[in-house]
Amino acid sequence: MHTRPAFSALMLAVAGAYGQTQPPIQLVTTSGALRGGAPGTVIEGAANGGSLTVTALAFSHWPGTTGTPPKFPGVMVYDVVSQPFLSPILSGQEEALLPGVLSQALAKPGPEVIAVVFEDGSSWGDAKWVQHMKQERAYLLKELTICLQGLQQAQQSERGGASRTAVAAQLQSAANNSRAAAVDGSDLKCVRMAWDGVLLNMRNAYAREGSLGVLLKNQVDTVTTLLVRVRSYGNVQ
């Protein structure tokens, strides 16, 4: 959690949810310089002035241009579900927006918030981006569930005497099936989020000693924790 007493910044307001006269979320920005010294704006964070916890936020570098999700230059998404290292933006609190990634100089001043998703599942803003963020959460829930099932099947194979090579091939096949079944680019992104860490850990396991059963259990525990987070913050079942 980041607090900034006496923070000198431009506070860019967003129209409120539920008819609030005060904006529920604000971008915190400072003046900066682009390459070559041209003036620009640096997005430092987001401050929640509303009464509801914010769990996802889409914002644009170029005001008035929201584009079409999921791929549009200049639109960034802060989502505690698909980016588990992030924290919800609580009422009255401020969070940095991916320091080193999204805190960057902008070609034009005046970045704006496009859409917000709150902890209770309600939302504000551009309907396309709200739907995109919620759909991506549903995809992630689906792919993590499939990944967990694959790991549990791998555990059964290991208990039946399967080698590391056989178990690794079994998991790779399950991941490949998920990739082939992905319905669009957002779903494919969630396939990678669910499976890449699992497959990387299996490859790294060849370089170290240790029980395959323990490795699989650790992977099951990790994916289970992510599933709990998605269900907790994502308002998806």
End position of a domain, from candidates 73, 100, 125: 125
Q: Report if residue 5 sits inside a domain.
A: no
Q: Which domain holds residue 59?
A: 10-125
Co-location of 209 and 229 in the same domain: yes
End position of a domain, from candidates 125, 148, 177: 125
Co-location of 46 and 95 in the same domain: yes
Q: Report if residue 1 sits inside a domain.
A: no
End position of a domain, from candidates 105, 125, 145: 125
Co-location of 46 and 151 in the same domain: no
User: How many structural domains does the chain have?
Assistant: 2
Q: Report if residue 158 sits inside a domain.
A: yes
157-161 long-range contacts, Cβ below 8 Å, gap at least 24? 158/212, 158/213, 158/216, 159/213
Mean pLDDT of the chain: 79
Please name which of 22, 231, 16 lies closest in space to residue 116, comparing C-alpha atoms.
16
Co-location of 86 and 158 in the same domain: no
Helix (H) or strand (E) holding 128: helix 127-159
Co-location of 74 and 146 in the same domain: no
Q: pLDDT (tens digit, 9 = 90+) per residue, 162-203?
A: 988 899 999 999 999 999 999 999 999 999 999 999 998 888
Q: Report if residue 3 sits inside a domain.
A: no
Q: pLDDT (tens digit, 9 = 90+) per residue, 204-233?
A: 766 565 688 999 999 999 999 999 999 988
